[in-house]
Amino acid sequence: MNRSKRQGNLFSSSTSPIGITNSHAEINLSKDLLTNWQKRIYKYQENLFQLIPSNHEQGSLFPQAENTSYKTLEPLSLTPLPLSFWRWPDAPHYGPAIYMVMDRLENCDSHILLYIGETLFADRRWKGEHDCKAYVASYSEALNDAGIKSQLSIRFWSDVPVNTKLRRKLEQQLIKHWLPPFNKETRARWNTPFTTELS
């Protein structure tokens, strides 16, 4: 994959045992900086987690995933899985999906949505190299170094279009709605400290 087309790396020099590129030792992120960053995201997303889909939207006699609205997503109603789920002998999800990486914040007793992605193959997408895996690894390491607890999970929403163009449109609507900080479209808004832009 051409590096210039990727979302960008986290820190930048040494390689960890699991193949994540970082040089966390060179960057010290304070506990205050990290908790304030989390709180800014929580403050924006807090109401979105509490919204109930409107009953005024017209229903369909034959509902299909192609008609799925980003407004119907309730991330907390989806089963949380550990980020290592892809190592299980049997995959918990197959087929097209929207997936979300979330963290449960100890200081707010709530969640923040860190990343939204789409896939045609839910059982394969998280295997191998993935920019978000690197962001999450650096995020987790920074929190650990600062003494902040995290409870990371990934959740899959399967009620999505099989058609890739429609599924990507849904993904973009969700990103604009939730503004997750690890997506390339929104990182600048949050001054995400775990990612660097390539020039």
The number of helices, as runs of H, and strands, as runs of E, in the chain is 4, 3
Q: How far apart are CA 171 and CA 98, in angstroms?
A: 7
What is d(CA 61, CA 63) in angstroms, rounded to the nearest whole number?
A: 6
pLDDT by position in tens, the chain (length 199) = 444 444 444 333 333 333 333 444 345 788 999 999 999 999 999 989 886 554 434 444 344 444 567 777 889 999 999 887 666 567 656 679 899 999 999 877 789 999 999 988 767 666 667 777 888 888 999 999 999 998 999 999 988 999 999 999 999 999 999 999 999 998 888 887 765 543 3
Going from N- to C-terminal start, the domains of the chain cover 73-188
pLDDT value at position 20?
Answer: 35
β-strand partners of 36: none
Q: How far is the C-alpha of 121 from the C-alpha of 93, rounded, in Å?
A: 8
- Quote the pTM value: 0.74
The radius of gyration of the chain's CA atoms, rounded to the nearest angstrom, is 17
> CA–CA separation, 77 vs 93, rounded Å?
16
